[in-house]
Amino acid sequence: MRETKRIQMKKNAKGEKNNMAANVETMFSVREKPWHGLGVIVEDAPSSKDALRLAGLDWRVVQKPLFTDSGLVEGYKANIRESDDSVLGVVTDRYKVVQNTEAFAFTDNLLGEGVKYETAGSLQGGKKVWILARLPREYIMSGERITPYLVFSNTHDGSGAVKVAITPVRVVCNNTLNLALNTANRCFSMVHTGDIKGKIDEAKHTLFMADKYMEALGNEFDNMREHRITDQQVEEYIEMLLPIDRKASSVTVRNIKKLREDMRMRYYDAPDLSQLGNNAYRFINAVSDFATHANPIRRSKNYNENLFMRTYEGNPMIDKAYQLLTA
């Protein structure tokens, strides 16, 4: 029944499809890397300190007392960027500042293992600072080239921790595939309290964690290639990923239907997915392609920054798609 509906849809929308077909080649050939041009290229940096300097991130954070009109606020301090007195966050007295140079110093030990810095930058005005590095080994998973990246991040607004995230990228399309596996962690983090140096030392095991994650990911890709799905299931999944509220306005309904059609195109029409067959692996790639590269209905000022954070922290839409496929 669904197969027939799919064919009818193609026939009924033939004119529209022909118009869209003219954009398909461009749509699937200009997909940039998932960090969307953020940051400064630091490929030649011999150390994390040099990478931070090249990216203009070698500033320090100092803590100062917090005052209101009523006087001193007990138990809290402000994290201030020393170079320009910008307030990066309000934190408790227990919060220990981890300077950028300290947070990323352990990555220098990885360079000898073939890890290469690529870019470095900051988000939200310096509240989050990151360095992106590429692992030396390229993996072949289900017959496809997958390059693993590491994103090292540090925060100064009290919202998080020093974090290392494993971000595999499918080479042919620059889609991120850091699935939330039950068998291996995709990120390692630590809270800004206690023995910071001791915890940073633990992050030196990142290469081992990355290899374990990539091995588990490869096994999961093989399983997903064997998991066939029907056109009806594809439609159901798309509707669950892009739901329409009963009370939605006509404009909202129209916009979501456009997004649904965009996702369908990425599943059915993407050239790099055409040989994969109708299976879960093809669908998760289509969703990743949509989540990483589709143009939003409204592009906010911080759209690229927010997308990059979802890229390395885990994109909720990709995670939900994976849950649907493995339920």
d(CA 163, CA 153): 5
Model confidence, pTM: 0.81
| Contacts of 41 by beta carbon, 8 Å cutoff, 6+ apart | 118, 119
**C-alpha separations of 231 from 124, 267, 273, 293 in Å:** 41, 10, 15, 23
For residue range 63-121, what is the model confidence (pLDDT) as tens digits? 999 998 999 999 999 999 999 999 999 999 989 898 999 888 888 878 877 889 999 99
Contact 170, 218 (CB under 8 A): no
Distance of CA 42 to the CA centre of its chain: 20
User: What tens-digit pLDDT sequence spans the chain (327 residues)?
Assistant: 344 334 343 434 444 444 444 343 433 434 456 576 788 999 889 999 999 999 999 999 999 999 989 999 999 999 999 999 999 999 999 898 989 998 888 888 788 778 899 999 999 999 999 999 999 888 999 889 999 999 999 999 988 778 889 999 988 888 889 999 988 889 877 654 445 565 556 556 778 888 999 999 999 999 999 999 999 999 999 999 999 999 999 999 999 999 999 999 999 999 989 889 999 999 999 999 999 888 887 878 888 888 888 878 889 999 999 999 998
Q: What is the mean pLDDT of the chain?
A: 84
Domain boundaries, the chain: 2-33+222-326, 40-61+94-204
Q: Identify the H or E element spanning 232.
A: helix 231-241
Q: What angle do the packed helices 14-29 and 2-12 form, to 10 degrees?
A: 90
Could you tell me the two tokens for 32?
């940039």
DSSP single-letter state for residue 36? T
